[in-house]
Structure 1
Amino acid sequence: MRILLLALLSLTVGHALKAQAYKKEEAKAFFVNQRYEEALAVLKTAESLVANDQEARFLLAVSYYQTNQLEAAGRLFQSIIRSEKDPFPECWLYLGKIRHAMNQFAEAAGYYKDYLRRIRANSPNRKMVWDDIRRCATGMRLQYLPSEVYAENLGPKVNTNGDEFAPVPSPNFSNRLYFSSMRSGNLGGRRDENGMPDSRTGQFYSDIFSCRSATGGGGNWQEVSSVGYLVNSTRHDVLLDFNADGTVLYFFQGWHHEDAKIIVDTFRNDKEERTVSSDVFKGPINPAIGDEAFFFASDNLVFFASRRPGGYGGLDLYRLEYKNGQWGTPVNLGPQINTAYDETTPFLARDRITLYYSTNHPDFSIGGLDIVKAVFNANSETWTTPENLLTKINSSEDDAYFRIAKDGFTGFFASSRKDGMGQRDLYAAHFDNFLPEMELRVDEYYGYVESRLVEPEVTGPQEDMAANPEGESLPALPEEIITTEEVASVPEAEMSAEHEITGEQEEVPVQPQVDGAPETASEAGNAGLLFLPPIYFRMDTPEAFSADQLRQLQTIADTMQKQEDAYLVLTAYQKEVESGKGAAIFKGAQQAEAVAKALLKKGVPNDRIFIRGLLSEAVGDQECSVDFSFYLPEGKAATTPLPVVGLRYANAVPRHPVHQRLLYKVQVGALSGAYGTNSLDAYEGVMVERQMDGPYYRYTVGAFTTFEEAEAFKVKLLRGAFTSAYVAAYIDGRRADQMRARRHIIDFPDLKAYTD
């Protein structure tokens, strides 16, 4: 009997050991295939194995780390170090990674050094860890620098426990974002690295999706939809870009890099055929040789990353240009951008000289890939030293695929930071101030206004698309495209901001008028006020200044020299001309520029002159007048009482709607020249402005005393003829950025709504 009991016990123990060994191997299989959630689930059911097997405990701790459960991972790594006689050196490595992820750079560097002390001198990991120590040093240097941007996770309706990456803002709709994702439910299901179905240890291949913001692009992203099986396939489908007007989609498709192609899709939404036309991109770029992360800056300019031979090491950035009817040879961006490390996911801003990209160079990164910015100097033909976007945007993990939306205030990127929901999540970057590199070039603008699109219905859930058998009605195409025949079927509420410009007069809210604006210095009741009468012009180009006018300009120059913190505001009033409001205010701005240039010759700095061009019939028998006012920063007192917009202001057109100390307007364009269409003619309060040290003319409409009114007007504009619009604040006639507006809240409480 005793022998029988021993035999049964041995058999039971043997089965238990086999079961534990099986669970360990199963967990390792998931682990090797980066299925960390499944590895975690298996190990959690094997308590005895984890308690007695250091390798199993280590796998459990790493799985916690990889699923972003940092506290649980840290406790388990510390437990292994305390309880094991010879703990794995990688326990210190991962403790460093955990501290690094928390931006505790000094503590992270300490753990990294502990790891280096425990590994062989010839270990291939030594350089990697030394680089991470250097990144910690960069983090300590950058951590507390001021930043006027913050990052926001797009939330659980967009991000999953899978992998979301490659965000691309819609070229036509400010509330729409496209992206790629490897997530549950994708068309191909789980597959192995060769593309064969593998439901046990395989990964989901990527599909392309879209989502919408319920607040016009500002947040609350939801309504995630697949772009449908006319684009998505059982292979990897990765969005690369759209062309400028959204009529062409570029995407990567393939089982892996060796057999992948770049597809160029032009859409036809024909009621009978409803087909998509696809072609392979013909340029000299090829994923099979390491080309990736393509950005189509235009139809004839592409930036991309590559490991092709002849680079500086790792991934390098290249540009490819289409000239004389053919694509040229890719050109490496050179050693000021590329390094022995990785440079990838380029994005060129609208000014065509500001380049955003990601690099893991330890001198520019606080960890993994970081988003940086460099600017090309055309005179010296060199790039500036890359600038890190700081810790409000970058993390210890990979931050990449940065894109800026057309509004110039919002960016999007993908990050594998450890406070996310999955492998990589999508984030929005909200900038306090408009990014000047996103000013709309005049040639770009005219291209946009020639083509206005109508928003189609939202694509249905992906499951319905995947289940749709061949031969039945097909799903909607990516919502950038709709034919003119379908316009009538779109509900009014669904009309996009980019419908065709008809020239019809749109109902405009009543613009506020200003009462009590003094007509002359004596009306203001300020003894000793510097009196500066307007300068009048009769011709398209200003006549030579009279002796009195030259003396007045010298007085202004002397005043600016004495009052070194003052800014001069030149306001031009121009009569409307046959070519429209946009052309008229630009003519007025040119007259103000003539005055500004005369002042520049007298030593007034160009960064202290702000010009405005307005419409008015009240300029007597003259065609244009230019008057003078000043802006003083908060807390600054004038040595001589100076005319200020809305206060002590001897202006040529009293009670004009823009003569208010606090004013809100809505910017609808920023061009390098005149406004060449009639789309401004339907609106009141039309104005053009320019800071004399900048190249762009900003066009605004409306005039409001509260942010709420201006915001409502902006929404109406976006439903009309304008693709982008945002509210701008003006204090004493000069535009105020977010920082300046915050400093004036005590004077104008309504600015709090603007700055929030």
Structure 2
Amino acid sequence: MKQAFVFFLLAIVPLFCFSQQKLSTKSKKATELYYEADNYWVRGQYTAAYEILQTAVDKDKNFLEAYFRLGVIDKSRGNTSEAEKYLQKTLELKPDHAGANFELGELYIQIGKYQKSIEATKRYLALNPRNTERKSQANRFITNAEYALENLDSTRKIFPEPLPKHINQYAMQYFPVITADQKTLLYTRRLGTTMNHDEDLVVAKKGEGGNWSEPQSISDNINSSFNEGTCTISADGRTLIFTSCYGRNGYGSCDLYMSKKTGDEWSRPENLGPKVNSSAWDSQPSLSADGRTLYFVSNRPGGVGARDIWITSLDDSEVWGKPTNPGGEINTKFDEVSPFIHPNSKTLFFSSNGRKGFGGFDIYLAEKVGDNWGEPENIGYPINTGEDQVSLFVTADGKKGYYSHENLDDPKVKGEIYQFEIPEDLQIDTKARYVEGIVYDIETNDPLDAKVELYDVKKDQRISMVYSDSINGSYLMVLPEGEQYALYVNKPGYLFNSKSFDLSQELESEQVEIKIPLQKITLGGKAVLENIFFEFDSYEIKAESKTELNKVVSFLKDNKDIQIQIAGHTDSKGDEGYNQNLSEKRARAVYHYLIEAGASATQLEYRGYGDKKPLFDNSKEEGRQRNRRIEFEII
């Protein structure tokens, strides 16, 4: 927000640098003061210029130009009541003052006086201004004001409240992000209200009582004497990307840097490199839940507008690819900023001043359908107002929102972090749950670093991938609602372990905790294939088994010196002979599929065991269900 403020001031300086313009005042002293203020103005010393202009209007109570400039400065500072007073005074002295009508048209949108905005802007346009860019802006004022009047909905029950004072203890705090388990809050804090004050990343933890701890520096390896700005963190809290604009080796005015957490230690940040960073401004990152897709903002050439949202992803070699621009599906010829990709990886929130809205920057959401984005939707009032709205974060369960609110009333605390409960009718369609636990060696109980992959079994498509921590074996994987998933845990030298999750049905908990043991590849080692499915009372393999079967093929190709037996098992219901026959046919069906998919027949054999080797109690339905299985054994 402060960068936008400075940019605005620099942009309007040329409008007022007419060194010897004809002024309305006849007071020599007022004239001298006006030109003295001009000298401070062109050097960016706006406070000094403002104070001198106030003295000038004391010398001449009808000094038109001084009132107008005071109004413009107050407007740019966010002092809306003073800005309105001075601009109205300008119009009292000259009702057809084009600049004052234009500035009021924009100001009234910012403070939610939409009808007055329309009236002021129409007065400006009636003067037939020649500046085509400002005419275009004025027409957008009217469009937005009319949209706002039609879409103000006071019935929405949203009550934002600031986080506790110990969280909002700094001069500015903004761009909050939260891990999927909602136990870690990370945000940027600034020690003062100007761009010259230091920015660092701080973290707070939620205790057992639900209260946030005192914020601490995230790490001495990350925070420095330079600035560490807007950041993003993966759902498991172990991959961090942040912005730094000076002091570090970079490629442009602001670059993106990455740090990885192993155990409790963050690595020293590394620049994402010239594929991602450019000679332009690159900032405001947002990571997908698994930390492998990055959304960010850049004003580099080749985009749609001034500042666009760009997207890059990690390949299987852990290298970031060349960023792509989603084009007009998301970006406009104006500015799109502060992207946030929800943990469901389908819902993108972002701010834009180039779409129909309530004025300034509004927050929109777009849903991903296949490889494309649906039409962005304004999330509406009272979240969006005439003021700029940026940096929204929505929790994985879709129930709570966090954002940074610019406080215009308190000069000591200019930006605070707010939270609000999202009404059920406004919550996103696809929420996300998560599975967490540790990966360990089944024999030694030692934690393992392993690849954890999530697949949509109906599409046979990998949704996300993370690695368990090499120090403590911990992992966290986000599970978007609405689909059936297979979870695979792989490590060279070990049998893979698979789990099944059906999120097309409602789960009782938002969290699933699973400890995943891995068994070394040894004679007699067994693995249950939990994502192989058959039609009821049949040996016909269902299509959603393809992902699991292909994993077995890959495992055999990676371990050519082993042989496995495909074993079919049933529960104890029904005739023993029938169960034996069904188990053999199912094992044979898997055997043939694997060979047709590229596995070597010399590595495979199959056998049916009927109901002779139960793993669980057959007197209970849950036990019977788990006893109906396909497993393989190293022979």
| TM-score of the superposed pair, with normalisation by structure 1 | 0.49
Call closer, same or farther: CA 1:246–1:398 in 2, change over 3 Å.
same
How is 1:49-88 mapped onto 2 (pairs within 5 angstroms)?
A: 49=59, 51=61, 53-82=63-92, 84-85=93-94, 88=97
The residue aligned with 1:518 is none
Question: Is 2:41 aligned against 1:28?
Answer: yes
Q: Deviations over 1:177-228 (max 9, x none)?
A: 41243725xxxxx7xxxxxxxxxxxx42450243759998989x89566557
The residue aligned with 2:271 is 280
How is 1:428-507 mapped onto 2 (pairs within 5 angstroms)?
A: 428-433=419-424, 435=427, 439-441=431-433, 444-446=434-436
Q: What is the SS of the residue equivalent to 1:289?
A: coil
How is 1:322-721 mapped onto 2 (pairs within 5 angstroms)?
A: 322-325=314-317, 326-363=319-356, 365-378=357-370, 381-406=371-396, 408-416=398-406, 425-433=416-424, 435=427, 439-441=431-433, 444-446=434-436, 668-669=509-510, 676-677=514-515
Q: What is the SS of the residue equivalent to 2:73?
A: helix
The residue aligned with 2:17 is none
Q: What is the SS of the residue equivalent to 1:75?
A: helix
Question: Is 2:243 aligned against 1:252?
Answer: yes
Distance apart, 1:366 and its partner CA: 1.4
The answer to whether the 8 Å contact 1:211/1:224 transfers is yes
The residue aligned with 2:620 is none
Distance apart, 1:107 and its partner CA: 1.9
The answer to whether the 8 Å contact 1:101/1:395 transfers is yes
The residue aligned with 1:301 is 293
Moved more, 222-231 or 393-402: 222-231
The answer to whether the 8 Å contact 1:50/1:56 transfers is no
Distance apart, 1:499 and its partner CA: 11
How is 1:307-326 mapped onto 2 (pairs within 5 angstroms)?
A: 307-325=299-317, 326=319
The answer to whether the 8 Å contact 1:264/1:280 transfers is yes
The separation in 1 between residues aligned to 2:122 and 2:341, in whole angstroms, is 38
Q: What is the SS of the residue equivalent to 2:112?
A: coil
The residue aligned with 1:465 is none
The answer to whether the 8 Å contact 2:173/2:416 transfers is yes
The separation in 1 between residues aligned to 2:31 and 2:101, in whole angstroms, is 31
The separation in 2 between residues aligned to 1:431 and 1:123, in whole angstroms, is 41
Q: Deviations over 1:2-38 (max 9, x none)?
A: xxxxxxxxxxxx99779845862465257x46x55x6
Q: Which has the higher contact order (CA 8 A, sep 6+)?
A: 1
Q: What is the SS of the residue equivalent to 1:108?
A: helix
The residue aligned with 1:207 is 199
Call closer, same or farther: CA 1:234–1:16 in 2, change over 3 Å.
farther
The separation in 2 between residues aligned to 1:54 and 1:222, in whole angstroms, is 53
How is 1:85-164 mapped onto 2 (pairs within 5 angstroms)?
A: 85=94, 88-118=97-127, 120-144=129-153, 146-154=155-163, 164=173
Q: Deviations over 1:501-531 (max 9, x none)?
A: 9xxxxxxxxxxxxxxxxxxxxxxxxxxxxxx
The residue aligned with 2:455 is none
The separation in 1 between residues aligned to 2:240 and 2:215, in whole angstroms, is 19
Call closer, same or farther: CA 1:329–1:132 in 2, change over 3 Å.
same
Distance apart, 1:323 and its partner CA: 1.9
- The residue identity in structure 2 corresponding to 1:347 is F
The separation in 1 between residues aligned to 2:381 and 2:244, in whole angstroms, is 34
The answer to whether the 8 Å contact 1:257/1:287 transfers is yes
Distance apart, 1:393 and its partner CA: 0.7
Q: 1:169 aligns with which of 155, 164, 178?
A: 178
Call closer, same or farther: CA 1:335–1:28 in 2, change over 3 Å.
closer
Call closer, same or farther: CA 1:281–1:389 in 2, change over 3 Å.
same
The separation in 1 between residues aligned to 2:415 and 2:332, in whole angstroms, is 25
Q: What is the SS of the residue equivalent to 1:335?
A: helix
The number of equivalent residue pairs is: 434
Distance apart, 1:168 and its partner CA: 1.9
Q: Deviations over 1:589-626 (max 9, x none)?
A: 99xx9xxxxxxxxxxxxxxxxx889xxxxxxxxxxxxx
The answer to whether the 8 Å contact 2:293/2:312 transfers is yes
Call closer, same or farther: CA 1:51–1:156 in 2, change over 3 Å.
farther
The answer to whether the 8 Å contact 1:307/1:314 transfers is yes
The separation in 1 between residues aligned to 2:54 and 2:165, in whole angstroms, is 25
The answer to whether the 8 Å contact 2:75/2:83 transfers is yes
Distance apart, 1:370 and its partner CA: 1.0
- The residue identity in structure 2 corresponding to 1:291 is D
The answer to whether the 8 Å contact 1:263/1:281 transfers is yes
The separation in 2 between residues aligned to 1:81 and 1:356, in whole angstroms, is 40
Call closer, same or farther: CA 1:244–1:236 in 2, change over 3 Å.
same
Call closer, same or farther: CA 1:320–1:148 in 2, change over 3 Å.
farther
| Root-mean-square deviation over aligned CA pairs | 4.7
Distance apart, 1:44 and its partner CA: 4.9
The answer to whether the 8 Å contact 2:439/2:474 transfers is no
- The residue identity in structure 2 corresponding to 1:389 is I
Q: What is the SS of the residue equivalent to 1:331?
A: coil
In structure 1, list runs of 5 or more residues that go unmatched: 1-13, 185-189, 191-202, 451-481, 486-497, 502-585, 594-610, 614-666, 679-756
Distance apart, 1:111 and its partner CA: 1.0
Q: What is the SS of the residue equivalent to 2:228?
A: strand
Call closer, same or farther: CA 1:120–1:22 in 2, change over 3 Å.
closer
Call closer, same or farther: CA 1:63–1:211 in 2, change over 3 Å.
farther
The residue aligned with 2:602 is none
The answer to whether the 8 Å contact 2:292/2:313 transfers is yes
The separation in 2 between residues aligned to 1:295 and 1:113, in whole angstroms, is 40
- The residue identity in structure 2 corresponding to 1:396 is G
Q: What is the SS of the residue equivalent to 1:90?
A: helix
Q: Deviations over 1:357-379 (max 9, x none)?
A: 1122332x21112111111223x
The answer to whether the 8 Å contact 1:208/1:239 transfers is no
The separation in 2 between residues aligned to 1:62 and 1:215, in whole angstroms, is 47
The separation in 2 between residues aligned to 1:248 and 1:153, in whole angstroms, is 27
The separation in 1 between residues aligned to 2:267 and 2:104, in whole angstroms, is 51
| TM-score of the superposed pair, with normalisation by structure 2 | 0.57
The answer to whether the 8 Å contact 1:345/1:358 transfers is yes
Call closer, same or farther: CA 1:316–1:21 in 2, change over 3 Å.
closer
Q: What is the SS of the residue equivalent to 2:252?
A: helix
The separation in 2 between residues aligned to 1:500 and 1:130, in whole angstroms, is 52
The answer to whether the 8 Å contact 1:263/1:279 transfers is yes
In structure 2, list runs of 5 or more residues that go unmatched: 1-26, 441-468, 477-499, 517-635
- The residue identity in structure 2 corresponding to 1:296 is L
Moved more, 100-109 or 209-218: 209-218
- The residue identity in structure 2 corresponding to 1:394 is N
